[in-house]
Amino acid sequence: MDGTCDGRCDGGDNAELYVQYVSEETDQYRHFCGQALLFTAALWLVRSQATVGVDEYMKAMIPHPSTRS
């Protein structure tokens, strides 16, 4: 079956088309949820600075004497 119904579909063909449509929609939904989860995790990591410890933060905030103008 090629995924089309030209008016001569019986119940089995309609069911097959419906299942194909629903599986495509489910795949798109899963893809969207995965993207949203990845974006949320990346945004949280960037905004929370969870990968930066106290020592690294203090070293970055205290300027080095050679960088003063």
E strand intervals along 10-65: none
Q: Evaluate whether residue 45 is within a structural domain.
A: yes
Return mean pLDDT, the chain.
80
Q: Evaluate whether residue 6 is within a structural domain.
A: no
Range of the domain at 53: 11-64
Quote the CA–CA distance of 38 and 46 in Å, as a whole number. 12
Is-contact 49 57, C-beta < 8 A? yes
How is the chain split among helix, strand and coil, in percent rounded to 5? Answer: 70, 0, 30
Any idea what the Cα angle at residue 49 is, between residues 31 and 39, rounded to 5°?
10
Q: Evaluate whether residue 69 is within a structural domain.
A: no
pLDDT of 2 > 60? The answer is no
> What percent of the chain stands above pLDDT 90?
19
Q: Evaluate whether residue 4 is within a structural domain.
A: no
Q: Evaluate whether residue 3 is within a structural domain.
A: no
Q: Evaluate whether residue 15 is within a structural domain.
A: yes
- What integer is the mean pLDDT of 1-21? 69
Number of domains the chain contains? 1
